[in-house]
Structures are given as C-alpha cells and as structure tokens.
Amino acid sequence: MQPPPRPPVPAQSNWVTYRSQINFGLAMVAFLMILVGAATVIDANPDASWRYYVAALPAIPGFVGLAILVRGLMGLDEVQARIQLYALGLSLGVTALATFGYGFFEGAGLPDLPPATVLPLMGVCWGLGTAYFAWRYRRS
C-alpha cells in the first residue's frame, strides 16, 4: 500500500521568500547613506556643538538592521539555526585570534589596525563559516 499523495506546496513569491534579506539590505543601504551624509556634515562643521548627535544618526538604521537579523535568526529551523550558531562561533573565534594576534605584531612595529576592520572581518568569516557548515551538513 502506498502512502497518500502529498498536497502541492503553494508557490511563494520572492518577496515572501527573501523578505528578511531584502529588508536587511535596505536597512544597510540606509545605514550607509546616513553614514556618508553624517560624515560629510561633521567634516564641514568640525566645531559644531551638535556634531555628536549627527554622528549618532547612523545607529538608527543599524538598530533596525540588527532587529531584522535577530528576527530572521529566530525564524530558522533547527538545522539552519545550528549551522548559523557554528558559523557565528567560528567567526567570533577567528576574528578574536586575528585581531589579538595582530595586536602582538603592532607591538613589534606594524601599523595599527583600525577598529573599523573588525566587523567586516567578522562578517566575512560568518559568511564563509555558513557556507562551510552548510556544505558539511549536506555532505553528511
């Protein structure tokens, strides 16, 4: 006896399928636009008393992007959540080793590493870790 046929899965539009990626991308575009604008305004008015408020403006879309990221992570199934956990752990470890290790080289005379390089390094490591652990899961 054969099992009953499964009902067809309704097709989802790209907006529904990729909603969190699209929203996150839009939040990051807003972040970059406000960041460039704020940097331009601060450079043009270096002695203004309100420059700290302008410098804080990019944090608004940054928090929106963070909320979208967390909401997306909370909606993952168990396997995808495990892949992301492993990738984040790998990213944290690699970034910590690289930045602390480079700190020793700074003491030996290499130029200072700007703090703004830490987050991009972590993001690249997270992406590579996600690809690796997803590949490893499919292989097993």
Tokens in use for 118?
């830490």
For tokens 């608004």, the residue is 60
Has residue 126 got a pLDDT over 90?
yes
Q: Which DSSP string corresponds to 92-109?
A: HHHHHHHHHHHHHHHHTT
Please choose, from the candidates 56, 79, 59, 70, the residue with its C-alpha nearest in 3D space to the C-alpha of residue 24: 70
| Predicted confidence (pLDDT) per residue in 4-25, tens digit | 887 776 666 666 668 888 899 9
Q: Which residues contact 42 (CB under 8 A, 6 or more apart)?
A: 48, 51, 54, 55
Cβ atoms of 24 and 64 within 8 Å: the answer is no
What torsion, rounded to 10 degrees, do the Cα atoms 27, 28, 33, 38 define?
90
Q: What is the pLDDT of residues 49-85, one digit of tens each?
A: 999 999 999 999 999 999 998 998 888 899 999 999 9
pLDDT in tens, 90-111: 999 999 999 999 999 998 999 9
Each domain of the chain, given as residue ranges in start order, spans 7-75, 77-140
Residue that the structure tokens 């930045």 belong to? 99
Q: Are 24 and 68 in contact (CB under 8 A)?
A: yes
Q: CA 125, CA 127: separation in Å to the nearest integer?
A: 5
pLDDT confidence bin for 3, thresholds 50/70/90: confident
Comparing CA positions, the residue from 67, 78, 85 lying closest to residue 20 is 67
